[in-house]
Amino acid sequence: MANLAFSDPEFQRIADLMYQAVGLSYNASKKSLIHSRLAPRIQKLGLGSFADYILILEDESEAAEFQMAVDLLTTNETYFFREPKHYDLLQQELPNSAGKAALSVWSAASSFGDEAYSTAMLLSDLQIAGRIGPDWSILATDISHRVLLSAKEAVYPQDRLRAVSPERLRRYCLRGEGDSEGQVLLQDKIRQRVQFGQLNLCKDFGGLGPFDVIFLRNVLIYFDPATKVDVVDRVLALLKPGGLFFLGTAEGRVPCKTPLQTVIPGAFRKAV
């Protein structure tokens, strides 16, 4: 399938469909990426060409296949306690800012849930230490149905938990045995704290929040500059004044109109 023909107009049509529906932005340099991600799917469906696949993507009754294409085109790379300094900051700041009041956190492009569950482990530890109250919750959303199904199961290859401390592994995880050797299941006390839901950041998502902490890490790369600003400002509208906002540290300056103060690379506080 590596040699399945893919014309420039076909590339442009797929790029337009993804932009209109999901905000994903692809310039010409991404043509071979789109080809490599979708060609195996076209083969699996027994179709002969990208043109045939485009007809399916254009057909509104084929929403499940559209979702599949989105899944294939986005990257879901994530792992537990990615960017540890962000979690160190939460550990320092939350007891000061929230005290024993209720706390709510949003992982806004959660992928397989690693970010949300890492935060749940940290908040649970803070609660055990008496540094925050018991009333805390985490919402985790993503556009991809596939990653959300997997996140709810909360079973991970051991390697994804490489940055989890031995104490936390003991306290919150169960190691698989036999056929499940090499896999880790998160305990109910952590799973129960995280609610998962499907949400497209490029569509209206009013009615959520307000949140004390929002993670929007490693998702803006999919969007063009105007969409980035729009998404970030709409997300920040749901963050409480003084709340903490996280982007991936490699993502650079926050593109937004909402006043923010930089705390450490990739971590910002919303103006009070």
Burial (CB count <10 Å: 0-12, 13-18, 19+), residue 218 = buried
Q: Which residue among the candidates 37, 131, 160, 175 is catalytic per the annotation?
A: 37
CB of 133 vs ligand SAM, minimal distance in Å: 26
Residue 219 interacting with ligand SAM (CB under 6 A): yes
Residue 34 interacting with ligand SAM (CB under 6 A): no
CB of 162 vs ligand SAM, minimal distance in Å: 14
Q: Which stretch binds ligand SAM (CB under 6 A): 37-45, 49-57, 138-146, 180-188?
A: 138-146
Per the structure block, which two tokens stand in for 272?
């009070």
Burial (CB count <10 Å: 0-12, 13-18, 19+), residue 94 = buried
Cβ proximity to ligand SAM, 250 vs 271, nearer residue: 250
Length of the chain: 272
Q: Which residue among the candidates 8, 13, 16, 142 is catalytic per the annotation?
A: 142
Please identify which residue in 193, 217, 228, 269 interacts with ligand SAM, judged by CB under 6 A.
Answer: 217
Please identify which residue in 89, 144, 154, 247 interacts with ligand SAM, judged by CB under 6 A.
Answer: 144
Per the structure block, which two tokens stand in for 30?
């991404």
Long-range CB contacts (within 8 A, 24+) of 20-28: 21/66, 21/70, 22/70, 22/143, 22/200, 22/202, 23/200, 23/201, 23/202, 23/222, 23/223, 23/227, 23/231, 24/70, 24/73, 24/74, 24/222, 24/223, 25/222, 25/223, 25/224, 25/227
Please identify which residue in 10, 18, 23, 26 interacts with ligand SAM, judged by CB under 6 A.
Answer: 23
Per the structure block, which two tokens stand in for 47?
């179709």
Residue 251 interacting with ligand SAM (CB under 6 A): no
What x/- string results for residues 38 through 77 when contact with ligand SAM is judged by CB under 6 A? ------------------------------------xxxx
Q: Is 142 a catalytic residue?
A: yes
Q: Given the rule CB under 6 A, which residues bind ligand SAM? A: 22-23, 74-78, 82, 109, 111, 115, 142-144, 147, 200-202, 215, 217-219, 222, 248
Which residues have a catalytic role annotated?
37, 142
